[in-house]
Every structure is written in structure tokens, then in C-alpha cells.
Amino acid sequence: MPHQTPQQVIEAQRQDWNRVASGWEKWDQFFDRQMAFLNYRLAGDARLRQGQRVLDLGSGTGYPALLAAQIVGSTGSVIGIDLAEQMLAAAERKATRLGLTNISFRAGDVGLLPFEDRSFDAVTSRFCLMFLPEIPKAVAEIARVLKPGGYLAAAVWSLPEKNPYLKIPMDVVKPFMDLPPPDPAAPGIFRLAKPGDLADMLRQAGLIEITDQEFPADVRFPTAQEYVASLMELAAPLQNLFAQLTAGQQQEARARILQATERFQRDGAVALPIAVRFVSAQAPA
Ligand SMILES: C[S@@+](CC[C@H](N)C(=O)[O-])C[C@H]1O[C@@H](n2cnc3c(N)ncnc32)[C@H](O)[C@@H]1O
């Protein structure tokens, strides 16, 4: 892919995630049940509690912002920020259904936070930071808006070989295309996968008490077909690759993905391994 300016990356992200927003809403209940444990882990790492003011970065359709709002209660508040207005519209509908009045969502780039210094007790983020064109800039912003003693808790994807859930489709699509070797510094799903990558940036921004832990789990689908269907509707980066294949190649790629899931069949379901990197840090007192 030709080099993109930060502004081009941001605009492409905005378009990508807006395009898949309806798919995220459609699959919401399924993935909420499959991945809610990640939200609870983030809430724990961020030490969320009643009355706090929390900022969630790249909330998408509301994770973990909605859980944070339930924890901080009516004496606290949560702001979720994301580039994709349509993802946020889905998050707002969910907040309304849950009767939450202490949460608001704003469209914007998390690399430039429109908030005062030292104004949040905690910052959370699930599966967003690796998509930013200038991660150190966003990390400096996080350090700026955290109150002294406040925590950041972030989840990013760990290494591809530990994430068959994400790697299978990427491996299947690659042979059909003439892709240059991936630029390890370019924004993308695995940009913060290596141990220490994000942690080092947090340290450089002056944050302390840094933890970095890989957390293995799996996502369970009743059938392999449902896995493939969800990928096609949710995974914006994969959609972009698929769009470059002919109809025949797409059909062949789908068949190969189905075949690759066979070794993960268990008890009548498909359990696809994932590995999430949880990174947390504290603002100095
Ligand atoms: C994989 S989704 C994760 C959404 C949600 N946190 C979750 O875990 O379900 C990634 C989200 O990051 C958002 N995003 C990507 N780059 C961003 C940026 N520079 N500023 C704000 N949001 C961004 C996208 O719009 C998208 O909603």
C-alpha cells in the first residue's frame, strides 16, 4: 500500500468502520456475549468505580464504554469517542435501550482529544489504538487528560500466530494478491501485537506502573459458516482485501477459510483461538 498521510489513514478508518457499522449492530448480541469478559478485564485494569469520569477511546458500538457507564453510575459519567459516526449511532441506541443517561458519544480522532488536562479518572480502549497513524501522539494525549493517579487500560490484538480467528482469513487471501511485505510500523490489526510495543510508548509519555499481559481465549461459533459470515460483515480490513478479488476468487477464499477452521471444531462448535494484549498504566500522582 502506498504511504498514507496521517489524515488519509484517519479518513480511511472513518469510512471503513462506517461501512461495517450495520454489520456490527446485527452481530452485536452474539459478540457481546462472546467478548464481554474483555470489557470486565478492562474495567478491572482501569480500577473503574462509582462516581468516576471515564473516557473510552475508539468506542465503536460501545465497548467497553457501556459497561463503564453501568459501573460509574449516576454520580459518574462516560464519554466515548470514535471516528465513525455510524458506529457511534449504534452505541447511542444501545445506551438508550439500557436506560443509561450518564454516557455520551462524540465523533472525533483520539489523536487529538478535545478535553482539558487532568480531567478523567480513567481512560479505556478496546481494539482501537493499533489503527492510529501516530500512536505516540495519542498516548501523550492520554497522559495529558488523565488525572494524577488515574489509570489507562487498553486491549489490542496480540501476535498473528496466536490469533487464528484473525490470521486464517488473512493467510487465505494473501496468495491471491501481490501484496508487498507488511510495514511493521503501519497502522493495522497487529501494529501493537509485540510485547512491550505499547508499554514502551506509555513509559515514554511519563506513565508509570505499566503492565503488559497477553490473554489467550477463544471465540466460539455454532458453525464455521457463521464465522465466515461474521468476518465478511464486521472485519473492515479484511473486506478491503476481499474487494480486490474476483467473484470466483472470493468463493474459493471462502471455501479455504471454512476448510482451515476444521482443526478448531470442538463439541459441535468452532472455537477459534484469540490472544489479546492487555496494557495498563497509571498517571503519576
Ligand atoms: C475494531 S473497532 C473496535 C470498537 C470497540 N472499541 C470494540 O471493541 O468493539 C475499532 C474502532 O476504532 C475506531 N478508530 C480507528 N481510528 C480511530 C481514530 N484515529 N480516532 C478515533 N477512533 C478511531 C474505528 O472507527 C472503530 O470504531
Query: In this predicted model, what pLDDT tens digit does every residue of 153-201 receive, in sequence order?
Result: 999 999 999 999 999 999 999 898 877 777 888 999 999 999 999 999 9
- Mind giving me the DSSP string for 55-117? EEES-TTTTTHHHHHHHH-TTSEEEEEES-HHHHHHHHHHHHHTT--SEEEEE--TTS--S-T
pLDDT > 90: what percent of the chain? 89
pLDDT of residue 236: 87
pTM recorded for the entire structure: 0.96
Interval 71-100 mean pLDDT: 98
Residue 67 belongs to some domain of the structure: yes
27 Cβ inside 6 Å of ligand 1: no
Separation of CA 171 and ligand 1 centre (Å): 23
10 Cβ inside 6 Å of ligand 1: yes
Number of compact structural domains in the chain: 1
82 Cβ inside 6 Å of ligand 1: yes
pLDDT of residue 188: 92
Residue 1 belongs to some domain of the structure: no
Separation of CA 130 and ligand 1 centre (Å): 9
Phi-psi region of 211 (alpha: psi -120 to 50; beta: other; left: phi over 0): beta
Structural domain of residue 108, as residue ranges? 6-282
Residue 229 belongs to some domain of the structure: yes
pLDDT of residue 177: 86
pLDDT of residue 2: 61
Residue 49 belongs to some domain of the structure: yes
User: pLDDT tens-digit profile of 19-61?
Assistant: 999 999 999 999 999 999 999 999 999 999 999 999 999 999 9
141 Cβ inside 6 Å of ligand 1: no
Residue 143 belongs to some domain of the structure: yes
- The number of the ligand 1 atom at minimal distance from the alpha carbon of 155 is 8
CATH number of 76's domain? 3.40.50.150
242 Cβ inside 6 Å of ligand 1: no
Interval 224-228 mean pLDDT: 95
